């Protein structure tokens, strides 16, 4: 099942993808977090009561998850080829190959929909980079979840483009929160695909910039698989329905090229994943600096 959040006029509606239509669920059904909490059994009844739809082609897709009880949870360096391509290019902030997943967080205000613009301002960062990723959506509450039972806690999957500001990543002591949280810079979607429809290891993840392929990998190449990620992340820490976990990006990022290739205004970035649809976003100049007096070095 493919679930979406779309904008219809001035309202946000939950829907189910059926062929070339988004069947709009009754407004009283709530958002996708509400529906995840209700469980699969609720969808058939809600869909039978639906009387409206919009075409997939014309739908204004919003991030599938719109209501957060915490930041977006993220995994770094989760493809070894990506870890290795950055060696010597981390501006002196080098680390040994990790023996457990590397976690960081991202502000929900960074998220935009599958066809919305990526906000871009060179006064905020000079080094904007793309990172195609697969995201996991948690389906039920759990703490200290064994890796072998992790699949019981996964509701579904979606795509993300973890657009990063490399200079801000380095500027703030080597932690990544700031360099991953610029407003309206992280596309996610277009829809949430329930776990029963996805054979995750066989998902092929690809990223294109202006039609040029930059990233190409299969999820089975992850350094730490989804079971390990959920086990480690939930170790002593509760995960909740609707939590979003980004699972890392493969090699091919702009920072690792020689010379480096960073995003610029007007670029189009496309991220595709087998069975997960497509993100297609334009990089557009936006006033993110405002009246700030922060000066980048």
* Residue where a domain terminates, one of 62, 80, 100: 62
Please tell me whether residues 21 and 81 are part of one structural domain: no
Range of the domain at 19: 2-62
pLDDT higher at 282 or 51: 282
- CA 33, 37, 40, 42 dihedral sign is negative
* Tens digits of residue pLDDT in 132-181: 999 999 999 999 999 999 999 999 999 999 999 999 998 988 889 999 99
Please tell me whether residues 167 and 133 are part of one structural domain: yes
Please tell me whether residues 78 and 41 are part of one structural domain: no
Please tell me whether residues 76 and 58 are part of one structural domain: no
Please tell me whether residues 12 and 102 are part of one structural domain: no
Query: Could you tell me the CA-to-CA distances from 167 to 124, 215, 295 in Å, in that order?
Result: 9, 21, 12
Question: Among 49-53, 59-63, 247-251, which is the least confidently predicted range?
Answer: 49-53
Is the residue at 141 inside a domain? yes
Q: How confident is the model at residue 109 (pLDDT cuts 50, 70, 90)?
A: very high
Question: Among 2-6, 80-84, 196-200, which is the least confidently predicted range?
Answer: 80-84
pLDDT higher at 95 or 197: 197
pLDDT higher at 133 or 297: 133
The H-assigned helical ranges of the chain are: 32-38, 41-48, 80-85, 166-171, 226-233
Please tell me whether residues 27 and 167 are part of one structural domain: no
Instruction: Give the pLDDT of residue 244.
Output: 98
* Tens digits of residue pLDDT in 212-266: 999 999 999 999 999 999 999 999 999 999 999 999 999 999 999 999 999 999 9
Is the residue at 255 inside a domain? yes
What is the spatial distance between Cα 268 and Cα 282, in angstroms, rounded to a whole number? 4
Could you tell me how far CA 285 lies from the centroid of its own chain?
21
* Strands 52-55 and 21-24, sheet pairing: antiparallel
Is the residue at 251 inside a domain? yes
Q: How confident is the model at residue 119 (pLDDT cuts 50, 70, 90)?
A: very high
Please tell me whether residues 150 and 180 are part of one structural domain: yes
Please tell me whether residues 56 and 146 are part of one structural domain: no
Is 169 in contact with 176 (CB distance < 8 Å)? yes
User: Above 90 in pLDDT, residue 283?
Assistant: yes
Please tell me whether residues 175 and 84 are part of one structural domain: yes
Is the residue at 297 inside a domain? no
Is the residue at 231 inside a domain? yes
What is the spatial distance between Cα 49 and Cα 47, in angstroms, rounded to a whole number? 5
Q: How confident is the model at residue 44 (pLDDT cuts 50, 70, 90)?
A: confident
Summarize the confidence of residues 109-123 as an average pLDDT. 98
Q: How confident is the model at residue 40 (pLDDT cuts 50, 70, 90)?
A: confident
- Count of domains for the chain: 2
Is the residue at 280 inside a domain? yes
Is the residue at 291 inside a domain? no
């Amino acid at each position: 099942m493919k679930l979406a959040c779309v904008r219809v006029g001035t309202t946000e509606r939950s829907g189910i993808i059926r062929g070339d239509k988004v069947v709009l669920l009754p407004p009283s059904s709530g958002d996708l977090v509400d529906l995840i909490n209700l469980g699969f059994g609720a969808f058939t009844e809600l869909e039978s009561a639906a009387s409206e739809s919009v075409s997939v082609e014309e739908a204004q897709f919003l991030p599938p998850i719109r209501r957060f009880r915490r930041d977006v949870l993220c995994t770094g360096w989760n493809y070894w080829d990506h870890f290795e391509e950055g060696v010597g290019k981390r501006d002196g902030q080098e680390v040994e190959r990790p023996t457990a997943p590397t976690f960081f967080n991202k502000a929900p205000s960074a998220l935009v929909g599958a066809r919305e613009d990526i906000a871009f301002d060179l006064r905020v960062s000079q080094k904007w980079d793309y990172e195609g990723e697969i995201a996991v959506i948690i389906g039920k509450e759990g703490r200290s979840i064994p890796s072998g039972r992790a699949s019981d806690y996964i509701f579904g999957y979606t795509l993300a483009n973890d657009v990063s500001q490399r200079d801000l990543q380095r500027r703030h002591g080597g932690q990544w929160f700031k360099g991953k949280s610029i407003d309206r810079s992280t596309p996610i979607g277009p829809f949430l695909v329930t776990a029963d429809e996805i054979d995750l290891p066989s998902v092929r993840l690809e990223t294109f910039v202006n039609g040029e392929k930059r990233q190409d990998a299969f999820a089975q190449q992850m350094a730490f698989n989804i079971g390990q990620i959920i086990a480690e992340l939930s170790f002593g820490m509760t995960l909740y329905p609707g939590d979003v976990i980004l699972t890392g990006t493969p090699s091919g990022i702009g920072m690792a090229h020689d010379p480096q290739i960073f995003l610029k205004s007007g670029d189009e970035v496309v991220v595709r994943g087998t069975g997960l649809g497509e993100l297609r976003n334009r990089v557009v100049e936006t006033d993110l600096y405002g009246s700030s007096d922060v000066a980048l070095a």
